Structure 1
Amino acid sequence: MLLDILKSGYNFIAEYSTEMIDVFDRESLTCIYASPANYRILGYKPETLIGRHFLELVHPEELEVLRDFLNQEKGAVELRLRKKEGYYVWVEMNWYIIQQAGEPDCVLIVTRDIHERKQAELSQQLSEKRYRLISDNARDLICIVDANSFKYIYTSPSYSLLDYSEGELLGQSFIDLIHQDDKPMAFHKLEDWKNQGWGSYKCRAIKKDGTLIWFDSLGKLIETPTGLEFIIISRDITESKQVEEALRSSEERLREITDNMLDGIILLNWDGIINYASPSCKNLLGYSPKAIMATSLDLVHPGDRWQFIRVINQAIKKRSPVRLEFRCLHAKGDYIWLEAVGNILTDNNNHYKGLVLAFRDIEARKQAEQKAVENESRLIEQYNCLNTLINKMNEFCYTYDENYNITFVNKRTTEGTGYSQKEMIGRCIFDFVHPDDRERVRSFAEQRLKDLDVDRCEHRLICKNGQELLVHIKGSPLFNNGKITGAIILCDDITEYKKLQSEMTRLDQMHTIGEIAAGIAHEIRNPMTTVNGFLQLLLKDEDFNDKREYLEIMIEELNRANGIIGEFLNLARHKIVDLKACQINQIVRSLAPLLQADAFLSDRTIILKLEDVPDLLLDVKEIRQLIINLVRNALEATPC
């Protein structure tokens, strides 16, 4: 049944798979199906493998292990198979026991070529063994020292040169083995190492028995998960030996650190070509390290590329650290913000040889900064709008803190009081209140800072020039994080309003007096009319001819008194003013004959001189009476 499946629709997969797919009888382990991949991997044509025993191609050293594994239902193992040419290659083999109803059980084996990977692993293991062997047997003294405490973390067996056994110096200070006279120099050199990352020095070391030996030491500062460390290789000056392998080990350790950092790291050579990119670049930018090494600076946003190159060139020129922010093209197609820091790499002659850059994603931070800028711009706009509104309002507006010191005044306040903002801000609000009103204002202010209901009130403000303003105030407390920090006050200047109100009251009182006087005048005119009537009768009686002169004088005085009362009643009477556009010259001309008659009776003359005037809105009756009164008063006041 399994063979039928492989030879049916699934035959395409088996025929073109890069992995060997073989089927063996479980009992005899003879091949009953072999895919074409056998030829590509082992060099055997599929038909030559049919019927052959499975274990024929297995390396003799793996036979026993494989037999134990094949007893399991399924599994995987790495082993060597013999190619047709006669040599063995490493493969990874996965097998599955297939139980078929009515048919013998089969073993399905899928085999993948892992020879290159296995060779690399074996090469690495061999290399590590060699490095360990070199370290354990080198005549140079190799140690790892904490960069801050200078305590030994590791010492090589060659420290027996100083008569110390392996591990005996761990935890002790590296400086303790240096001659007293050389310690200041050693301290100075080690500090230089921290700044430069490496260095060398020559000093005298103290052996366990107290004797001295000269060493030429070369050290390097490395960063590990636990902190900064120095790797120091020392050799007897008289028996020099190359330490290249030990330094390579140090580089590998540094590479392990960089490869496992969350930040991306790239290394540019002297002509700007990227010759190293850490694996973390894949997580940051979506590109594999190999893809990044093929891009150079093409991923930098065109708008940031010139600045990127300028900063790097400046750092190369000054041999200074690099720090910059730029946009970089992500594999998804959009640009993200990165922050990069790095150092210039130089050779022993201080010649530029490359640049190492570590970078991290700051897109979220940039978005937050942009949002903060937008919010700040919006707040500034709202502040300016509110400030304009407050300064344009017709009311006094000011704020004060919990100590009753003024913290803000609007433009209307300074214009109304005559003080400048500088003169008012920081001063107590009671300094500007009339002394007689201060206690009452203080009481209201205290209640306002306690968030109590405060009625509107009126009090007097003292201006800079000493003038008093009557203001009507209303206010409310100011809160910050739920705490009352002061209050805001709005004031209406009601000084003119109060004056107008007083004048209206006075006029109302005068009107009342006028109405009372008018009533009295009516009562006076009634008896005067009776007296006048009787005097007229006496004047017609011949018996009083000798008294006629006196009677006429009495009638004349009564008429004059009656005229005065009439004028008074006219003033007290509510009149409806009927204003019309009139030519005042025409009104004067119509009154001229009457006025000339009055003047003639008093032996006087009126000269009429009129000039052109525009039409005026006048009540004709009132203006006629006004002109008559003015002329008659003038005639009476003018001497003959």
Structure 2
Amino acid sequence: MKNHDKNDLSAESRELRHRISLLERENAHIKNALLESEEKLSTLISAAPDLLCFKDQYGRWLEANEFTLNLFGLDQYQYKGKSDLELMEICSNYPDALDYCACTDKQAWLAGNPIKVELDISTKNGYTITFDIIKAPIYYPDGSPKGIVVMGRDVTTRKQMEEALRQRQKEFRTLAENSPDVIIRLDKNLTYLYVSPSVTRYTKIDPRMFIGKSMGKIAPSKEYITTFQEWKREVLAVINTGKPSTIESEMKLWWRRGELVAYHARFIPEFSESGLVESVLCIIQDVTEKRLLEKEFARLDRLNVVGEMAASIGHEVRNPMTTVRGFLQMLSKKSGCVQYNDYFTIMIAELDRANSIISEFLALAKNKAINRELYNINEIINSMMPLLEADGLMANKYIKTSLGEIPDILVDHKEIRQLILNLVRNGLEAMEAGGTLTIRTYLEGNDIILAVEDEGSGIEPEVMDKVGTPFFSTKEQGTGLGLAVCYSIANRHDAMLRYDTSLKGTIFFVIFQDRNGTAKEAIS
């Protein structure tokens, strides 16, 4: 029995020793693995290109990687066990940054959770290095403070890129919000991302009302539907092809009595990094004034051609006409021709009318010499009033004046008289009996404005493009030279002739530009 017990104890002893041996080998394996893991972690921390530092609960440095030591110039010093304030005395780089670190450690302990701060370090070369710092306090199981982990990454390049992007966005916004052009950005789903304030001038809608809405879901009014559909087709084509597109067209502004506005629209694709179109930039430019100027230049070119023809042949035609008129006058006085005097009178009157037309024809000449002197347009108008009122009374029409205070300017007074006479007679002929024609003068900025307003039925839309064209007239007995002469006179005086017409009448504006800006000074 005793031998049997001894054998059992011996077996149990061997089993126990075997288990202890296994545990020792397992512990050795775990220890080696732990040491290997610690070595790898240490190597990783040391080689990390980021700021890494471990401190105890009192802020004393326990461990720091190579990047951190080099940054603060502590690689040659015994830093372990020293606080930030103590290290300030021995570090060669950025002691102020260490002071900031000590302050933010306190903030992390007060927060009780990881906090994020930004550290700016000014280098000796005048550059600023920016770090995003995370400070994470560590606690023992009982809640008492154990230490703090400090991790930081150099975000200088990112900050510079963000600042450059902010600057570009600011420049774009400044440009877009002060541009007279309408600038719109749409994503690939045709949703408005940005609409410049200038859109209000054409739609009377706040640009913020567009943002986030689909292009197909918002149109200012029925009049704009066709225009918006045309734009939508172009935007879709740009998204599908990746190629820019341009259109030129016109649209009516309902709130400006259906005024036609000519526009030039350009649609430009904006690509993502993958090369796909992610948005479209639309730039809509009002080219109404440009179109008007092009028409004005074309009209002036026609005037110049006619004027050059007039200058070259006018005198050649007048000479034989003068001879014929002289012979007609001589024959009318002969006793044998008395019976034909009525015919002679008609022929002489027609020759005089032809001579008058030639005189107007010659007035179109671009290089016609003019004699400019200082005159006040109000004085010229007042001197003409007896003649103008007589013309009006003969047709039972009235003329009134509203003459503002304007300075003297250099003009050829004979040509200005002709200009005023032609505009007034045109206005009188456009009105029914009992109508009133108004002549106004006033200052607009530095420009002197002469305005002649009638109460006629306005200029028909289909003839607007022909106004001022030589030999074009809507009157049965008109020569078509009256307004053409007015345009030529205005051109020779560096003035502009414009008109505004409606069913209630027409206003012709002659704008004498004060290029030296002396008009207001002369008044004061």
TM-score, normalised relative to structure 1: 0.39
Tell me which structure has the larger Cα radius of gyration. 1
TM-score, normalised relative to structure 2: 0.47
Query: Which one has more relative contact order, counting CA pairs under 8 Å at least 6 apart?
Result: 2
